[in-house]
Amino acid sequence: MQLYKRKEYWNSPTMSWWERAYLFEIVRGLSITGGVFMQNMWRWMTGRKGALTTYYPEETRSDYAANNRGKHVLTQRPDGTPQCIACNMCATVCPAKVIEIEAGFDPDDPAHPKYPVRFEIDYSRCIFCGLCVEACPEDAIRMVKEVPNLPTFDRRDMWLGLEELLTWNPQSDVAKPYPGKRGDRQDARKP
């Protein structure tokens, strides 16, 4: 009398006697993993890297996409001043509210009387959405594919300021003509 009959599943695995013997399949599995170990170990011992891992802070990946939204760049005018006119549109659109701009008044530049005294991005909260780049009317802020190198033990180190954003990867807006400030341009408008 059979008390219990095991249910037959339509997709129950079928194994040949070789696989049922179990030992040979174990040997095969062990030789696969052992082979991978030997292969990677040989790479390490001959001075190459035997792993797919990137050592993160020491080593950054080189294969970011060309349009990757990484670290911000503030573009500059030919004389090195920021293109930013401190209009606060990026700070307004920013969903994470990470941009802080303190505007200053420059009477010498009637075309751009406002300029940023302070322009800071809090990378500990930035979500890299790129809305600041889209909102900017002056093409003053861009994002490039390189990512910011931020691992640190102090969160205050994750605020990047005007100087860093202008100088780490200087870019200028060549499409837009810039007449220069009052002192150094020829056809200066009279106030």
Partner 1 sequence: MIQDLVVNLLFIGYAVTVLLVFGTVLTWVERKQAAIMSDRIGANRAYVRIPFTQFKLIWWGLFHGLADGLKMMLKEDFRPNSYDRVAYAIAPWVVFTPVLLVFAVIPFGGTLHPGEIVPALAGWFGDKAYPLQIARLDAGLLVVFAFGGLTIIGAMLAGWSSDNKFSLLGALRAGSQMISYELIMGLTVLGLILIYGTVDLGAIAQQQSGVVLGVLPAWGIFFQPFAAILFLTAAIAENKRIPFDLPEAESELIAGYFTEYSAMKMGLFMFAEFIEIAIIGALFTTLFLGGYNLPFMTDAGFVLPGGREFPLAHGVVVVLQLVVFLAKVLLVCSFQILVRWSLPRFRYDQLLRFAWKFMFPLALINLTVTAVAVWALGAH
> Tokens for 85?
């006119």
The residue assigned the tokens 């005007």 is: 162
**Closest to 128 measured CA to CA, from 150, 144, 116, 139:** 144
The whole-angstrom separation of Cα 18 and Cα 27 is 12
The whole-angstrom separation of Cα 119 and Cα 97 is 13
The residue assigned the tokens 């249910």 is: 7
Least separation in angstroms between CB 50 and partner 1: 6
- Of 50 and 70, nearer to partner 1 (C-beta) is 50
Residues 6+ positions from 166 with CB-CB distance below 8 Å: 74, 76, 80, 82
DSSP conformation class of 157: G
Least separation in angstroms between CB 26 and partner 1: 7
- Of 11 and 33, nearer to partner 1 (C-beta) is 33
- Of 40 and 172, nearer to partner 1 (C-beta) is 40
- Of 63 and 187, nearer to partner 1 (C-beta) is 63
Least separation in angstroms between CB 80 and partner 1: 36
- Of 26 and 111, nearer to partner 1 (C-beta) is 26
Least separation in angstroms between CB 42 and partner 1: 10
Least separation in angstroms between CB 23 and partner 1: 8
Residues near partner 1 (CB under 8 A) are 23, 26, 29-30, 32-34, 36-37, 40-41, 44, 50-53, 55
